[in-house]
Amino acid sequence: MKRLILVLVAAGLTGCLPVRRDTPLVGDLPGLTPAQARGQVVYMANCQQCHPGGSAGLGPALNDKPLPGFLIRFQVRHGLGAMPAFGPKDISEADLDALVEYVVRLQGVR
């Protein structure tokens, strides 16, 4: 038991355990699909200021948890707390689709 704990501590110290660090992912995302690339443009124009690179800024980090697409859509359309709502005039339906693909990609889960 003691040995197992030692191994786990050692693995943690040397970075072998899967620790998700809050590093900005924007700029070094290889091979964005066309939809994700479109979403990135929308993101930079509307979201980057508060969620820089998907990390926490004024708003919480988006890249450290698997937020489902419907929740991202809802949050964008309705806002919450300090986050403003973005109506279809701000972000079209097609742009929102692309944006969701990009945010999901930021999470690194797809």
Type of residue numbered 100: V
104 binds ligand HEC (CB under 6 A): no
72 binds ligand HEC (CB under 6 A): yes
Residue 105 falls in which region: left (phi positive, over 0), alpha (psi -120 to 50) or beta: alpha
Residues 20-59 as x/- pattern, contact with ligand HEC by CB under 6 A = --------------------------xx-xxx------xx
84 binds ligand HEC (CB under 6 A): yes
Distance between CA 100 and CA 65 in Å, rounded? 14
Our finding on whether 80 is near ligand HEC (CB under 6 A) is yes
